[in-house]
Chain A
Amino acid sequence: MWNQMSDYEPKIVGFVCNWCTYTGADLAGVSRFQYPPNFIPIRVMCSGAVDPMYVVKAMLEGADGVLIGGCHPGDCHYQSGNYKARRRASVLQELLKDLGLDEHRVWVRWISASEGKKFAETVTEFTEELRKLGPSRLREEWAL
């Protein structure tokens, strides 16, 4: 072990859509909801714009979890981006599962602009879950 994992803090990379989840995160901040600081948000215009490669790259670079956040089904700013994101994420999770890459570390959540509370809860829940799972093996893996 090159890093001491006793002081393990999960690292979450989040791809959050501009119209819902990002705004929801903003609301969480404005509303002063408390949530763990383990979340690194990356704003994208739509969850449908998240190429699975971004998610895989984040994982391979050592993120313990990746969150894809979009509008609720039916509420996409671009009509159907989140439905397509859902299909793409399903493909990705199937592949991760089959290759032994722990698909439980990729979460898809629909969080609207008014759900600041849900955003805070989701990040809290995900952080706790990742604490239980322990650090991603990919952090240490050198043969990628």
Chain B
Amino acid sequence: MDAVHIDVKGGDFNAALTEALAVLLDKHVVDALLVPQESERGTSINQTLVKKAAGLRRARPMNFIMPVNSAKLLQLLSETEPDEKLAVVLRPCELRAAVELVKLNQVNRENILFIAQDCLGTFRMKVYDKKAQEIRKAGADPTASLAARCQTQLRDTCWACEYFWPIEGTADLVIAHLGGDIARELFIEAQTGRGKEAIQALEAAGYKAARLPEARRAEIERRKAQNAEFRKKWFADARAKMGTLDGILEALSNCIRCYNCRDACPICYCRECIFDAEFMKPTARGMLRKANKKGLLRMPQDTLLFHITRLNHMVTSCVRCGMCEEACPNDLPVAQLFCSEAENVQKIFDYVAGKDPTALLPLATFKEKELEQIDR
């Protein structure tokens, strides 16, 4: 596949990447760019929509936090017919969510160029905020300094991540660094025809053709094995904690029904969630009737109904980005629960959400001969 080499000077891989992204705008490969940029104070990084290269002021295409799953933003941008070509810089889990949302007819793949990266991992936002402030005080760039250090405080979801690089054939362009030294060099590889056009524009702008580091595969396998080990423990812990009725009720007992997990979830895309519907609102009479029957009633009620229903609706497409847990004000282990269930359920259908754009959604298809023990 076609790829170019990007020289990183002084360890500032984001500056080098920004230059390359500016080429895509300048040469009109795309009309707009969705790319993460740092806030003025440097304690946060958010996606920004950029029309002109001059708008790339503090771009941090590769970084350590994820305030939203960008696939949600792509859905917003797809709601009205976009007539401009858009490129978007995504993490692997955002890419997988985008692939699922394309299948769910929520993201318009036609006009969007997916640029995905070998992920650096992410911190919990509160943790990042503190770290970034300290590093800024010392006069350094948080993203670059963090990349140089061994990371031990990444989110559990990141440690458990199975696909931390863009799965082959899902993105148009891949920003690769695994198997190389990110402080010295990066690579951008085309994986589709549209990606190739972008690579040609980069080559015309003076970037040298290259091949991805030979060691990339081996490095991916090494990390994959390492993450698999964590994942196994994490899921075993989930089963131990939440594998019984008492366990799950205890684990969810601090749920305040704010629905943040639903709102942060890239897969929960319904315009009107059934839990917002008028007929789902409990009546005083209904609650008192239940309290009378059982002697007492936890309030607000229906916590388990909400979480099991949400699980049923999104679990076949869950990409394990962990935004649910990040959004939870009471730190419930919802990502741990949903990720382990996603693994169990998707296995039934031999499906991995976001892995294969051509694989049909498990609940939108069927085989005549399958699951035949169900009526026995």
Contacts and interface: CB of A to CB of B under 8 A. Distances in A.
Interface of A: 2-3, 51-53, 56-57, 60, 62, 73-74, 80, 83-84, 86-96, 98-101, 107-110, 137-144
B366 A91 contact: no
B245 A56 contact: no
B304 interface: yes
A109 B357 CA distance: 33
Sorted from nearest, which 8 A-B pairs have the closest CB atoms?
Answer: A83-B366, A100-B244, A52-B312, A53-B309, A2-B295, A143-B298, A100-B245, A142-B294
Interface of B: 239, 242-249, 253, 274, 293-298, 301-305, 308-309, 311-312, 315-316, 340-341, 344-345, 348-349, 362-363, 366-368, 370-371, 374-375
A108 B348 CA distance: 17
Given A86-B374, A140-B294, A142-B298, A100 B248 contact: yes
A12 to B, nearest CB: 16
Contact of A91 (B294, B302, B316): B316
- Per DSSP, chain B at the interface is helix
Nearest to A110: B375
A98 B344 contact: yes
A53 B274 contact: yes
A142 B249 CA distance: 10
B315 A91 contact: yes
A95 B303 CA distance: 16
A91 B362 CA distance: 10
A46 to B, nearest CB: 14
Contacts of B316: 91
Given A57-B305, A143-B253, A99 B245 contact: yes
Contact of B345 (A3, A89, A91, A140): A91
Given A52-B312, A100-B243, A100-B247, A108 B374 contact: yes
A84 B298 contact: no
A51 B246 CA distance: 25
B304 A95 contact: no
16 contacts: A2-B294, A53-B309, A83-B368, A87-B366, A90-B374, A91-B348, A94-B348, A95-B312, A98-B239, A99-B242, A99-B243, A100-B243, A108-B374, A144-B249, A144-B303, A144-B304
Given A56-B305, A95-B341, A141 B245 contact: yes
A142 B362 CA distance: 34
B261 to A, nearest CB: 16
A144 B301 contact: yes
